[in-house]
Amino acid sequence: MSLLRTLLASLLIVVGGIAVLAAATDGFRAFTSETARRIDVREHPRALPPVPLQTAGGRMTNFARLRGRWVLVDFIYTRCMTYCSVQGSEFARLQDRLAQPIAAGKVLLVSVSFDPAHDGPAQLAGYQRRSGDREAGWLAVRPANASGLDALTHVFGVTAIPDGLGGYVHNAAIAVVDPRGRLIAITDWDAPHEAERYVRHGLAQ
């Protein structure tokens, strides 16, 4: 009798355990929070909050005003000496590859600093210059206030942690925002052709 009941209990535990594991991994697809964030964005596009942003030119803007075109967004901090500097040159390359739709006002690149206390307009402009900015269709911005930064890192799922050397380590990526102002995809920061494909596909429709 106890053997049968143990079998039944074990069976229930296995079924329940697999169900919990499936729920915790989005159906065995996401074992890391980075994969989970990408799946969630793809399946449930997120509206971007219109928090005030200051550009490298000193002007104010927000994501609501950038609607009507495809926007590729990455998060940076200008003191970064490691891969953010490569992020910058990847954006400069995207300026070349997307030069036509950029000139037509259909595409915009936006780099958002998650270190606004340090990254003023001058630092943002310096970052773009160092990265080889082609001076068309690339805005570097910082959130104008702390709550704006929180809102943006929350909706984009950006996590930046101190690297122990005075800088940060962050889950760098290129985020794709559609003309309706919705975050629809997150792609690898070092594979700009993926982000480019989203844009070209969207423009062709």
Partner 1 sequence: MIVPSRWHPWLGLALWLALALPPVRHVLEATMTLQMLVQIPLLAAAGWWLAPFLTHRVVHALSGWNRGGISGMLLASFGAVVWMLPRMLDAALENPWVALAKFASVPLLIGVPLAFSWPRAGFVVRGVWLVEILAMTFRLGWLYMVSPVRLCSNYLLSDQQTLGKALLAVGFTVLIALAWELLWGRIQVESRPH
For the chain, what is the total number of helices (H) and then of strands (E)? 7, 10
- Please tell me whether residue 32 binds partner 1 under the rule CB under 8 A: yes
Nearer to partner 1, 165 or 204 (CB): 165
182 forms beta bridges with: 47
Q: How far is the CB of 170 from partner 1 (least distance, A)?
A: 8
Percent helix, strand, coil in the chain, to 5, is 45, 20, 35
- Please tell me whether residue 33 binds partner 1 under the rule CB under 8 A: yes
Q: How far apart are CA 45 and CA 76, in angstroms?
A: 22
Cα dist. 124→42, 58, 138, 202 in Å?
30, 10, 11, 29
- Please tell me whether residue 14 binds partner 1 under the rule CB under 8 A: yes
Q: Dihedral of the CA atoms 132, 137, 140, 146 (nearest 10)?
A: -160
Q: How far apart are CA 84 and CA 102, in angstroms?
A: 23
- Please tell me whether residue 81 binds partner 1 under the rule CB under 8 A: no
Nearer to partner 1, 10 or 100 (CB): 10
- Please tell me whether residue 9 binds partner 1 under the rule CB under 8 A: yes
Q: How far is the CB of 40 from partner 1 (least distance, A)?
A: 12
**Contact letters (x/-) for partner 1, 36-55, by CB under 8 A?**
x-------------------
- Please tell me whether residue 125 binds partner 1 under the rule CB under 8 A: no
Q: How far apart are CA 106 and CA 137, in angstroms?
A: 9
- Please tell me whether residue 17 binds partner 1 under the rule CB under 8 A: yes
47 forms beta bridges with: 182
* Residue among 22, 27, 31, 103 that touches partner 1 (CB under 8 A): 31
Q: How far is the CB of 60 from partner 1 (least distance, A)?
A: 30
**Contact letters (x/-) for partner 1, 126-165, by CB under 8 A?**
---------------------------------x-x-xx-
